[in-house]
Each structure stands twice: as C-alpha cells, then as structure tokens.
C-alpha cells in the first residue's frame, strides 16, 4: 500500500520497474495524481487498487469515537501541551486533534482492514504520516524522504510531529549519505539503524531518447527552430521547472552582468511547464521583456520524453541552483547528453562526484558570470565518461534490485515477528 504523496513522476517508475523484475508484487495506491494530466488517474497497469482515503466522508459519531480513543494515548496530551507552547488557540488545538482523530479512523476503518503486507509512505511531512502513528505494529512500513520534505520544510512543528511518527516506522530511506546525515541531525540519531541511502529508480525513457538523438543534428535543430531557439547561439538553460525555488530571478540578475560580446552569442532558456503558479510565470515573462539585452526564451509547453531529450541535447549548459535538491533528474539528463552543468555547491551531490560524474560548481550566485564565461569561451569540452558512470550508478538495473531487497527484508521481519 502506497500512502503519502501519490505523485506519478517518481512512483510509476519505481513500482513499474519493480514489477518488471518480480510480477508477484501487488501495489495499491492512495490519492494517485498523474502529473502530466494534473488529475487523478482512474486506471493503470501498475496498481491493483486506487483509493482516496482522505476524501472519504466520516460520520460525526465515528469521528468523536476516534477522538476519545486517541485521548487515551499520551501523544494526545503531548500535542495539547506542545501546541499551547506554540501559542495556538483552543479552537486551533481542537482542529488539530480532530485531524488526528480522522487519521485514526482512516487507519483503523479503511486501511488496516485491507491487510497490507507493507505500507510505503512517501514525502515525509506531518500531513502524510499521521496514519503511521496509529498503525498496528504488525504492519511493516517504509518512510521515503524525497528531498524538499527534508530540506525545505522545517520548523518546530515539523520536527515534533515527524520525529514522533518516524518512531513507528520499520525502515527509512533517503537518496544520499549526505541527506542521511541531515535527517539524523534534524530528527535524532536514534533512527540510524532504520536508515538506508537508496536512490529512486530513474525513468529511462528520456535517457533512451537521448541515446537516439544525441548524434541527430537535424532533429535537434528542428527542435530549436520549433521553439525559437537560435541555431547559432550557445544555449543555457536556467532551472528546469516553474517553481520559484529554482531561483530564476537571482540567476538572471547575475547573467546580465556578462560582457556584451558573450551575451550576444548566448540564449537563455526557461522551461516552465511544471510546477509554480500563473503569477510567478507571468512575472518571469514580464521580466524577460524588460531585460532587452538578454536573449531570454520562455517555454511553457509540456514536453513528452522525446521533447525533453531534445531539450537536454540542445542545452549546452544548465545552471542549476535551487534552494535545495536531492538528486535532480534534469541535471542528470543534461550530463548524460554530454553537456555542462553549473550547480550550487550547497546541494548534496557528493554521491555524483564520488562516482566520477563531472560537473561544475559555484558557491554563490555572484560566481555565475565568471564560471559561465569560462565555459562559453572554452566550448571544447574534454570528453568525459558521464553517460557510462550515470548508467553504473543510477539506472534501474542497479537501483531496482536494491529496492526489492529492502522491501523483502522489511516484509521478512514482519513474517518473523
């Protein structure tokens, strides 16, 4: 059973590849959202059953029964004292406790009767983990942090509730050793024995398309022409989605300081089809019109795998400096295409460096002009082994067996208990 976030872009590739290795698995999912279509998907060959637990109506009688059952637990009173310390009003505390009572109802009346062998929680924030607290200990669980749930979402309440619920988990995953250390510092070293560093399974469709088109100059030039990208200019991508956390504005503030001779021969592409909101995208479009000395191209069209692959090949360099990140698929795709990446040194990419995957780093936004100028002035890039090394580290034939092993081990503990 898959709970937490039901976002298709990570889950489909993870569970789909597991099924290719072992058809004996059955996956059911709650709140599934098909990212390309932005809506709940009613059918999929990957999942046996689809649920929408949080939108199931609950009778007031059942809500209050679960409220009073929850009141028998020490955690009920710990919440009250904690929220009082946070200066919450009585009505706010009551609302919080009723949300937890609702989670107890979902757990005891909707989830546990399905008798799952294992529940996999994704995107570990308090709202996604409430059911974990109430689960029968005989039901084993895995809690997987995606990145921003660990790095961007924080505060006293986050730490209080996530730490409490993680105590009931059977296993916890993060993508890199650096993120593991951050988790232990944030929530406590008592979780060390439960913690595993394990990458999400990459969707290889885009990588296969990159292999098909990497020497097809005609298709790449046709892609550029369709999206008004000049064929004779050095193409730099700024970020990879429309979230403000990509820091588009801060990057633009620096690249406009480049010498005019470089700016004349460079085009900057912002692909904004995923994430963000209309106001932010509109502001970026307005900014692109004001910065008349920059060749800024904004693309809001959603790309399929083939178009993404062509974009990665057409990208001579990607500037990737988000607030935080675990392991960026977009960055990996650009590197796999044989192109350059300028990344922020504060991102936890030691795993890539340790596996001889080459990219450039800067410690601050002020360093962007010098680093980018150096790359543009030295277009001849010594051939590296990024594609081969990415395959060895991140491709499904490496990661999927590790996920299967973890799932089997957790279920095996269940059977022995």
Helix axes 386-394, 329-336, angle to 10 degrees: 140
CA-based end-to-end distance of the chain: 20
Query: How high is the pLDDT of residue 369?
Result: 97
Residues 270, 198, single domain; the answer is no
Give residue 408's pLDDT.
95
Whether 184 and 176 have beta carbons less than 8 Å apart is answered as no
CA max distance for the chain = 72
Report, as ranges of residue numbers, the positions in the chain whose pLDDT lies below 70. 35-44, 379-383, 414-417
Structural domain contains residue 72: no
- What pLDDT shows up at residue 324? 87
* 197 and 220 share one domain: no
38-55 per-position pLDDT tens digit: 444 444 678 999 999 999
Question: 42 and 128 share a domain?
Answer: yes
**Residue 150 falls in which region: left (phi positive, over 0), alpha (psi -120 to 50) or beta:** alpha
**For position 34, which CATH number holds?**
3.40.50.2000
Residues 349 and 279 in one domain: yes
Q: Which two tokens stand for residue 287?
A: 């900014």
For residue 360, is it within any domain?
yes
Any domain includes 372 = yes
Q: Is 68 a domain residue? A: no
Range of the domain at 322: 205-394
Cα–Cα nearest to 46, from 83, 76, 8: 8
165 lies in the same domain as 197:
yes
Query: Which residue in the block uniquely carries the two structure tokens 């059955």?
Result: 26
- In a domain? residue 106: no
Six-digit token string for 197? 């560093």
Whether 11 and 131 share a structural domain: yes
Let me know whether 148 and 276 are in one domain.
no
Position 40 scores a pLDDT of: 42
- The CA distance from 133 to 136, in Å, is 9
Same domain? For 7 and 147 the reply is yes
pLDDT digits (tens, 9 = 90+) for 265-289: 999 999 998 877 889 999 999 998 8
Same-domain pairing of 264 and 358 = yes
Answer yes or no: is 74 within a domain. Answer: no
Residue 337 domain flag: yes
Q: How many domains does the chain have?
A: 2
- Tell me: do 358 and 301 sit in the same domain: yes
- Asked if residue 62 is part of any domain, the answer here is no
pTM for the whole structure: 0.87
240 in the same domain as 198: no
Distances (CA, A) of 353 to 84, 148, 199, 348, 415: 46, 21, 15, 10, 39
178 and 307 in a common domain: no
């Amino acid at each position: 059973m898959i709970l937490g976030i039901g976002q298709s872009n990570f889950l489909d590739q993870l569970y789909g590849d597991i099924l290719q290795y072992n058809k004996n698995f059955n996956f059911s999912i709650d709140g599934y959202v098909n990212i390309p279509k932005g809506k709940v998907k009613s059918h999929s060959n990957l999942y046996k059953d689809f649920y929408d637990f949080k939108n199931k109506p609950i009778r007031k009688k059942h809500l209050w029964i679960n409220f009073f059952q929850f009141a028998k637990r020490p955690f009920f009173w710990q919440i009250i004292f904690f929220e009082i310390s946070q200066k919450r009003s009585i009505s706010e505390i009551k609302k919080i406790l009723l949300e937890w009572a609702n989670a107890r109802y979902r757990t005891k009346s909707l989830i546990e009767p399905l008798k799952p062998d294992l529940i996999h929680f994704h995107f570990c924030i308090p709202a996604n983990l409430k059911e974990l607290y109430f689960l029968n200990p005989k039901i084993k669980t895995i809690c997987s942090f995606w990145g921003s749930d660990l790095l961007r979402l924080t505060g006293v309440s986050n730490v209080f509730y996530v730490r409490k619920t993680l105590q009931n988990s059977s296993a916890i995953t993060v993508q890199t050793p650096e993120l593991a250390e951050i988790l232990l510092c944030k929530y406590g070293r008592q979780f060390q024995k439960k913690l595993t560093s394990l990458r999400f399974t990459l969707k290889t469709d885009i990588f296969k398309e990159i292999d098909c088109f990497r020497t097809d100059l005609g298709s790449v030039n046709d892609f550029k022409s369709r999206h008004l990208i000049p064929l004779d200019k050095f193409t730099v991508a700024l970020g990879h989605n429309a979230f403000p956390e990509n820091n588009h504005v801060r990057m633009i503030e620096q690249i406009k300081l480049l010498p005019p001779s470089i700016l004349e021969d460079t085009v900057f592409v912002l692909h904004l089809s995923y994430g963000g909101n209309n106001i932010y995208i509109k502001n970026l479009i307005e900014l692109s019109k004001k910065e008349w000395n920059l060749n800024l191209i904004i693309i809001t069209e959603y790309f399929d795998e083939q178009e993404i692959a062509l974009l990665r090949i057409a990208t001579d360099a990607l500037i990737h400096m988000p607030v935080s990140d675990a392991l960026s698929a977009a960055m990996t795709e650009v590197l796999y295409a044989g192109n350059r990446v300028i990344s922020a040194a504060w991102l936890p990419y030691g795993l890539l460096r340790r596996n001889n995957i080459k990219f450039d780093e800067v410690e601050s936004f002020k360093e962007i002009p010098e680093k980018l100028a150096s790359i543009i002035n030295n277009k001849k890039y010594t051939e590296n082994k990024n594609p081969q090394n990415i395959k060895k580290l991140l491709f499904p034939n490496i990661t999927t067996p590790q996920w299967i092993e973890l799932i089997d081990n957790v279920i095996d503990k269940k059977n022995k208990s």
